[in-house]
Structure 1
Amino acid sequence: MSTSLYYNASRATALTAAETAAVERVVTTRQPSFPYPDEESLFLYEEGEPDAIVAGSTKMPLDLDHVMPVLEHVLGSVTELRRALPDAKWHVHLDDFDIPWDESEGYFLPA
């Protein structure tokens, strides 16, 4: 059984050109620091729900030693995406578990 992290931002208006560039910049700048090139990292869908302006998922690695570094990296990336699109409604969850948001910390896994 696999576990995935899902992320979705929605609003009534489409991304502007500047917002699209900001999303692409986050994806491009975060990718080189991803800890395991052989694992799935931040993955944004081409098309999503009607009001989704950003949506994606990341399948968690089978190697348990890789799970936390992957989660931390992807949650950091999604935090940057949310800060680039602050007026969107965000939903981030690990299968059925909602990931909390903190204005200063971003997305995090509670202890």
Structure 2
Amino acid sequence: MSVSLYYSAHRAAPLTEAESSAIECVVAAHTTSFPYDDEESLYLYELSDDGPEERVAGATKMPSDFDRLMPVLTHLLHSVTELRRVLSDAEWAVHMDDIDIPWDEAEGYSLSGMNERRK
């Protein structure tokens, strides 16, 4: 059974050229720094500005190898955090199958305990 991370942003206004460029920069930076060549990475669907108010959407299948899961998930959530900051006025939904990933204005997206520092 596979688990995937899903991410989407909705708003009435279409993306501006500046926002589209900023999103492309986030995706390019993510791709360059992604830790594993043989795992799925950040993937955004092709969306039409003519369609519904979904402006950004994508999904990534999580690794089945537990040792790779946390680095991949951490990297993806950081990238989705950057995407959200590009489109801060959109309504965002980020979830791993049926588990909602909470948003924290200071920390961004993370699961409980992911950003805690070890003492």
If the length of structure 2 is used for normalisation, what is the TM-score? Answer: 0.90
- SS of equivalent residue, structure 1 residue 43: coil
Total equivalences in the alignment: 111
If the length of structure 1 is used for normalisation, what is the TM-score? Answer: 0.96
Identity of aligned residues (%): 63
Q: Deviations over 1:60-81 (max 9, x none)?
A: 0111111110000000000000
- SS of equivalent residue, structure 1 residue 77: helix
1: CA distance, partners of 2:71 / 2:17: 32
1:4 aligns to what?
Answer: 4
Correspondence list, 1:1-111, <5 A: 1-47=1-47, 50-111=52-113
Q: Which runs of 4+ in 1 moved over 2 A?
A: none
Q: Deviations over 1:41-95 (max 9, x none)?
A: 1000012771110000000011111111000000000000000110000000000
Superposition RMSD on alpha carbons, in Å? 1.1
What runs of 5+ residues in structure 2 fail to find an aligned partner?
114-119
Please identify the structure whose Cα radius of gyration is greater.
2
